[in-house]
C-alpha cells in the first residue's frame, strides 16, 4: 500500500489482508509497538517519528523483512514499507533470495489538502503524537521528497495500480478489490472468481 499520510493505507491494508487471509504488515504499527514497549528499535525511532521524519532505512528494512519473510510466508499486505527507493531495493534483494514477488503496488491517490482534516480528527480521537498540523505538513513533505520517487521505480516494473482514494472507505475498498481482481487474473488465470 503506497500513498501519502492519511490516504487510507492502514484502513484499506487491513481490509485487503482480511479478504485474502494474509498478514497485514504495517511498518508504522510495528514501530509504534516498539516505541510503546521501549525496545532498542523504539528508543532509536521514537523521536524521529514524533517529528514526522523517516527512520533509518536499514533499521526499518530489517524489522519489516523479519516480519514477512519465512518458510510459511504465503502472501502479505505491506503498508508503509518500502517508503524509499533504497528500502525497495533492499526488499527486492531479500525477496529474490526467497523467491517472493510483489504482485501489485496499490497507489492511493488523493489531493494533499484533504488529508489534514482526516488526520487531525484521528489525532484528537487516538492521541497519535504525529497527528498535529505541523507534523502532518512535514510528513506530507517527506512523502513527496522520499516516497513519491518509488512510483516511478515500480512503474518500471509495471505493477502500480492507481486507485482514487477520495471516496468513502467502502468506495475505496471496492475500487481496490476490483483493480486487484484484474491483477490476480493476469498473474494466475486459474483463479476464477475467488
Nearer to ligand AP5, 28 or 106 (CB): 28
Strand partners, 160: 105
The dihedrals phi and psi of 131, each to the nearest 5 degrees, come to -95, 60
Nearer to ligand AP5, 39 or 186 (CB): 39
Total residues contacting ligand AP5 by CB under 6 A comes to: 30
Nearer to ligand AP5, 170 or 193 (CB): 170
Q: Which of 16, 31, 106, 150 binds ligand AP5 (CB under 6 A)?
A: 31
Alpha-carbon span 190 to 30, nearest angstrom: 35
Cβ of residue 151: shortest distance to ligand AP5, in angstroms? 15
Q: Which of 65, 77, 81, 107 binds ligand AP5 (CB under 6 A)?
A: 81
Stretch that binds ligand AP5, among 93-101, 115-123, 151-159, 179-187 (CB under 6 A): 115-123
Task: Look at strands 77-79 and 105-109 and give their pairing.
Answer: unpaired
CB 106 within 8 A of CB 163: yes
CA 51 to chain centre: 19
Q: Tell which residue, 18, 46, 22, has the closest CA to residue 34.
A: 46
Is residue 48 close enough to count as binding ligand AP5 by CB under 6 A? yes
CA 37 to chain centre: 22
Q: Which of 169, 174, 187, 191 binds ligand AP5 (CB under 6 A)?
A: 169
Query: Nearest to ligand AP5 by Cβ — which residue?
Result: 28
Is residue 172 close enough to count as binding ligand AP5 by CB under 6 A? yes
Neighbours of 186 (CB within 10 A): 11
Is residue 83 close enough to count as binding ligand AP5 by CB under 6 A? yes
Is residue 139 close enough to count as binding ligand AP5 by CB under 6 A? yes
Alpha-carbon span 75 to 131, nearest angstrom: 31
Alpha-carbon span 29 to 25, nearest angstrom: 8
Which residues sit at the interface with ligand AP5, rule CB under 6 A?
A: 3, 5-11, 27-28, 31, 48-49, 52-55, 60, 80-81, 83, 87, 118-119, 122, 130, 139, 168-169, 172
Amino acid at each position: 500500500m503506497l500513498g501519502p499520510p492519511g490516504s487510507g493505507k492502514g484502513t484499506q491494508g487491513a481490509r485487503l489482508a482480511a479478504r485474502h487471509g494474509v498478514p497485514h504488515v504495517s511498518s508504522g504499527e510495528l514501530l509504534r509497538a516498539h516505541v510503546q514497549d521501549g525496545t532498542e528499535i523504539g528508543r532509536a525511532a521514537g523521536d524521529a517519528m514524533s517529528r514526522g521524519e523517516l527512520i533509518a532505512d536499514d533499521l526499518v528494512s530489517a524489522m519489516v523483512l523479519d516480519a514477512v519473510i519465512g518458510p510459511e510466508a504465503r502472501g502479505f499486505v505491506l503498508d508503509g514499507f518500502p517508503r524509499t527507493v533504497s528500502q525497495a531495493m533492499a526488499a527486492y534483494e531479500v525477496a529474490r533470495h526467497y523467491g517472493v514477488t510483489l504482485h501489485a503496488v496499490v497507489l492511493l491517490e488523493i489531493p494533499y489538502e484533504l488529508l489534514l482534516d482526516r488526520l487531525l480528527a484521528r489525532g484528537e480521537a487516538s492521541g497519535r503524537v504525529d497527528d498535529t498540523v505541523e507534523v502532518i505538513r512535514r510528513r506530507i513533505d517527506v512523502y513527496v521528497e522520499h516516497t513519491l520517487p518509488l512510483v516511478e521505480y515500480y512503474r518500471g516494473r509495471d505493477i502500480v495500480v492507481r486507485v482514487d482514494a477520495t471516496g468513502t472507505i467502502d468506495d475505496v475498498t471496492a475500487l481496490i478489490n476490483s483493480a486487484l481482481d484484474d491483477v490476480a487474473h493476469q498473474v494466475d488465470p486459474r483463479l476464477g472468481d475467488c
